[in-house]
Amino acid sequence: MKKSLILNALLVLLLAVTGSADCQAQHKQRERGHQPLSQAQIEAAANEAYKLIKVKKYKDAFPLLCKAANAGDCVSQGMLGTMYYEGKGVDVDFEKAREWWQKSVEGGCGDEIKKYLDKLDFIENGIHYVVKNDKSVTVLPLNVNGSNYSGLTTVVIPSNVSHDNQSYPVTIIGESAFAECHSLTSVTIPNSVTQICSSAFESCI
């Protein structure tokens, strides 16, 4: 028991010092042989993290937010996404920020978090983009409010797309991005695109 407590304490200390650990990896380490957290434990971890954030002790707050976020607390998931986005207590990682914001929205904290998620996951001129860590964007399938690409006859992918006062080069057409677009007859792809993923134009007859 004492050995387990010491190991857990060392893990928390390591996370606080490095600030660059992956929350998912932490979750996998902690769930091995451990019972799920009670609601009281989740709230305690979240509340302590919020207190630390208020006094800008982001590295100390990070492992506690991970704990609450991995347990399903949508507010902690949203804050964790913001920490990844702003590089507070952890290295900047847009992809992890998007992932945690998405989980927060799915967990019920949608209205406020969607505003943040829109910074990294957005639609411009009918095309769905996500921002990558190198500040380029990938074209993804469109499935928003029942809308999709299925009726398109022409697609013109720009070399750069502007959103939220930022300009991003378009470098990847993602997996299955325009799959099943049976009416598609013309596609313009700029030189900025360096990768077209599998099934990007599957069944575009």
Say yes or no: 154 and 84 in one domain: no
Say yes or no: 91 and 112 in one domain: yes
Say yes or no: 140 and 187 in one domain: yes
* Number of folded domains that form the chain: 2
Say yes or no: 19 and 91 in one domain: yes
pLDDT of residue 35: 64
Say yes or no: 55 and 76 in one domain: yes
Q: What is the pLDDT of residues 93-140, one digit of tens each?
A: 999 999 999 999 999 987 889 999 999 999 999 899 999 999 999 999
pLDDT of residue 103: 94
Say yes or no: 147 and 103 in one domain: no
Say yes or no: 82 and 136 in one domain: no
**Which of 67, 85, 117 marks a domain boundary?**
117
Q: What is the pLDDT of residues 141-160, one digit of tens each?
A: 987 655 678 788 999 999 99
Q: Which domain holds residue 131?
A: 121-196
Say yes or no: 31 and 8 in one domain: yes
Q: What is the pLDDT of residues 6-40, one digit of tens each?
A: 444 433 433 333 344 567 655 555 544 556 788 89
Helix (H), strand (E), coil (C) string for the chain? CHHHHHHHHHHHHHHHHHCCCCHHHHHHHHHCCCCCCCHHHHHHHHHHHHHHHHCCCHHHHHHHHHHHHHCCCHHHHHHHHHHHHHCCCCCCCHHHHHHHHHHHHHCCCHHHHHHHHCCCEEEECCEEEEECCCCCEEEECCCECCECCCCCCEEECCCEEEECCEEEEEEEECCCCCCCCCCCCEEECCCCCCEECCCCCCCCC
Say yes or no: 78 and 127 in one domain: no
Say yes or no: 132 and 94 in one domain: no
Domain holding 179: CATH number? 3.80.10.10
Count of beta carbons in the 10 Å neighbourhood of residue 6: 10
**Which of 71, 95, 117 marks a domain boundary?**
117
Q: How confident is the model at residue 72 (pLDDT cuts 50, 70, 90)?
A: very high
What average pLDDT does the structure give for the chain?
Answer: 84
Say yes or no: 82 and 148 in one domain: no
Say yes or no: 105 and 43 in one domain: yes
Residue 129 in contact with residue 140, Cβ under 8 Å?
A: yes
